[in-house]
A and B are shown apart, each in its own frame.
Chain A
Amino acid sequence: MTGCERVNRMFARQDQDRVPRHDAYWPETIARWQREGLQWDQADALRLLGADFQTLCWSWPSAFPGQRVVLSQDAETETVRDAWGGVARFWKGRSGTPEHISFGCDSREAWEKTYRPAMLAAANEINPQLAALRYHEGRACGKWNHLAGVEGFEALRRLIGDEACLIAMIEDPEWVRDIVRVHTDIVLRSFEGVLAEGVAPDGLWIYGDMAYNHATMCSPAMYRELVWPAHKRMADWAHAHGMKVIYHTDGRVSGVLDLYIAAGFECLQPIEAKAGMDIRDFAPTHGDRLAMFGNIDVMKMATNDLGLIEEEIRVKFAAGMATRGYAYHSDHSVPPQVSWKTYQAIIGFVERYGTY
């Protein structure tokens, strides 16, 4: 069974030989593993895992594609004006969330006069020919080929900042709708360019963190009113082109699972255990309509306690596989506390407990 067949059968809740697999790693994790025996890079770790997914392209439209002006720096960090016109401080040579210092798009006026026209006029950052090349590579090795792109809420936060975004959701909802709508227009337009190359992706993987460890950032009603229509639009577009839809969000989203299903999302990833998400809770209630991709607790991985990790994989796999709609992924990104020896054992557990 190829990866593509396996993932498609997962979506159809049909028998598979084993659960589909994919994972994500912090760059520091790969650096550690290279010191401990990993021969090459992240792709090598995914190959050893037996990953089934192939990303063709990544769409996150910005106002000023390619802009990265270093405004200042010290030994550890550099402060940069980025492609969205904002100023943020990043670590040098280290992963992690940047500190957002200011946002160029700081008012509706700035959006309408500068950022909206700039985004609409900006060049497509996706190279359709490269995406097509990856598509044919993916087909040749049996991978599940997918487009990947950021959705409107994540784009909104990146453009105007968390605080302004969340306040605008109350005080200026039409502005929020407009940003989300324009962003979605551009993302779908860029994907159309890929399809024009004659490729037929298997799926669309939508990225947008809309929750944290307590709940969704906004209420389900506000999500339904302001962001959900764009989610549905992306899913409808994907379905019209024969694709399945995976939605990525961190955080506790148990209060909006029904809205995800209504939008047309068919799979949720990575299902963050440390935010209180547990597939054992919702596999019985939602597993027939929403495939589950992930939920293996990285905090347990980080202990390097193989007994604890094996039990985590055993019980979560049992719950997920009972629905035939489950794929392996860590519940976020594998952190550098996890040794290469431990991750090799994890691959073994995934093999042992993930075989149907």
Chain B
Amino acid sequence: MPQLTDLTAAVAAGKRTDTVRITQELLAAGIGPEAIVEKGLVPGMAIVGDQFKRNEIFVPEMLVAARAMKEALKILEPLLATAGIKPKYTALIGTVQGDLHDIGKNLISMMWRGANFAVVDLGTNVSPERYLAAAQEHKANIIGLSALLTTTMPAMKETVRILKAAGLPNMKIMIGGAPITQAFADDIGADGYAADAGTAVDVAKRLVGEAA
């Protein structure tokens, strides 16, 4: 019988077929879906995030790992829903108003899902009002704002202003994107900044009070 560590290794290596097979075998052996996620898949994506931060792997390897995890979650999520088990934290993500770019946002979304956050992807060109309404609806713990263009950085500032003014409890705002820096995050009052998809997991965990 495979072990949870085998699943971790399969996800980290981006082996989709092996990931699905091991997930099914673990379930058949009586391992619960929550344990499979928490102790098998999430550690695998954590390895991917760490390797990515160190430039030991690059975006293609991250994508195949995230896809392997997604295939496993297709099997596990109905079982988790039946058991009433939800991820502990919810994150919203979107590209700010005036910006249609999405690859950075999509990578962060994959990595947050890999860290067992429930992720609501609001898409691109998201107005401050849509962010706020979605934050209220989903009781989001993390709101991620992405911008590619220097021209859309002012929209990021305005979105942070509106979200902060709403005073939602337990809500933290993270920003990122090509022109974004920690100094800009500090300047506009964002709670966190991540330079890459691997770091985004660490920052989100820190902001919700989990050890990164």
Contacts and interface: CB of A to CB of B under 8 A. Distances in A.
Nearest to B103: A162
Nearest to A334: B150
Q: Please tell me the size bucket of the interface on B.
A: 20 to 34
Per DSSP, are chain B's interface residues mostly helix, strand or loop, or mixed? loop
Given A213-B178, A213-B195, A299-B150, A170 B61 contact: yes
B192 to A, nearest CB: 16
Interface in B182-201: 195-196
Contact of A335 (B61, B106, B150, B178): B150
B59 A217 contact: yes
B150 A91 contact: no
Contact of A215 (B55, B148, B149): B55
B102 A99 contact: yes
Contacts, number: 83
Nearest to B61: A170
A214 B151 contact: no
A302 B60 contact: no
A329 to B, nearest CB: 16
Contact of B99 (A96, A170, A219): A96
B45 to A, nearest CB: 17
A150 to B, nearest CB: 18
B101 A214 contact: no
B151 A219 contact: no
A91 B67 contact: no
A100 B95 CA distance: 14
Nearest to A166: B60
A213 B125 CA distance: 21
A123 interface: no
B203 interface: no
Contact of B100 (A97, A214, A275, A337): A97
Contacts of A216: 58
A28 B151 contact: yes
A274 interface: yes
Q: A90, A91, A213: which has the most chain B beta carbons within 10 Å?
A: A213
A233 interface: no
Given A26-B151, A96-B98, A218 B63 contact: no
A167 interface: yes
Given A213-B195, A255-B55, A97 B148 contact: yes
B100 A89 contact: yes
A336 B154 CA distance: 12
Contact of A99 (B100, B151, B181): B100
B67 A167 contact: yes
26 contacts: A89-B100, A90-B100, A96-B101, A96-B152, A97-B100, A97-B148, A99-B101, A162-B103, A167-B63, A167-B67, A169-B60, A170-B60, A212-B178, A217-B60, A218-B58, A218-B59, A218-B60, A219-B57, A219-B58, A255-B55, A274-B179, A274-B181, A298-B150, A299-B150, A335-B150, A336-B151
Given A97-B149, A217-B58, A298-B150, 7 more contacts: A95-B151, A97-B100, A97-B148, A100-B102, A213-B195, A217-B59, A337-B150
Interface of B: 14, 55, 57-61, 63-64, 67, 98-104, 106, 124-125, 148-152, 178-179, 181, 195-196
Interface of A: 26, 28, 76-77, 89-91, 95-100, 162-163, 166-167, 169-171, 212-219, 222, 250, 255, 274-275, 298-299, 302, 335-337
